Amino acid sequence: MNTELVIFDLDGTLLDTIGDLAVACNAMLALRGLPQHSYEEYCHFVGNGILRLVERALPEVLRTPENVAAARADFVKYYIDHIDCHTKPYAGIPELLQELTRRGVRMAVASNKFQAGTEKLIARFFPGVEFVAVFGQRPDVPLKPDPAVVDEILARAGTPKERVLYVGDSGVDMQTARAAGVRSAGVTWGFRDREELQAAGACQLVDRPDQLIALL
């Protein structure tokens, strides 16, 4: 395929972050004396940014713009200080990034996690990896599945779309790749199931990081 650039989602793709996301969100709920949620529930709450995560965690009657904004602020305050307590790379991911580097394939990150959190996790877990761009949620940039973040990465990298592979674990990721006009690989080790990835139009499904090499 002569892939020159691989764009990775972060949560559920490079890193298993759900433990810290769940703890931080439950801490926010505990501050308010509200019911907390399970690990499994949080797997379905994530994927559309922190604002939607805390909105989904709150009882429906409390999902006013003011309450959601305040909840997001409390979540971010806790999460940024406890961002790597339970988080870890998925098995095989460090080796995959090393192999891509060895082959001269460039890499980038496109996440719906807020920018400061995205940057902190990449610096913490992949300090020796050179990325073309590390982009999270930023003001005035639409969240995925809008393709704006992918378009921005492609402009920075100067890579033709036919030489790009987008890798993610959710339907949102597959929709993003389709909207951007690039190939997609859905990973089955993340937070969502094969059926969601297939329904969202994944070009390929992979069960282990090393299988991505065959798609290059």
Question: What are the Cα distances from residue 44, in Å, to 102, 134, 135, 192, 203?
Answer: 35, 24, 22, 7, 22
Q: Catalytic residue at 20? A: no
- Cα gap 46→112, rounded to integer Å: 9
Q: Please identify which residue in the block is written with the tokens 């300090």.
A: 127
Instruction: Locate 91 and state its tokens.
Output: 């098995």
Half-sphere exposure of 163 (CA within 13 A, CB side): 12
Pairing of strands 183-187, 164-168: parallel
Cite the beta strand spans of the chain per DSSP E: 5-8, 15-16, 88-89, 106-114, 134-137, 164-168, 183-187, 204-206
- 9, 11, 16, 20: which is the annotated catalytic residue? 9
Helix (H), strand (E) at residue 94: helix 93-102
Closest by CA position to 65, among listed 51, 78, 75? 51
CA 107-109-111 angle, to 5 degrees, is: 165
What residues are labeled active site?
A: 9
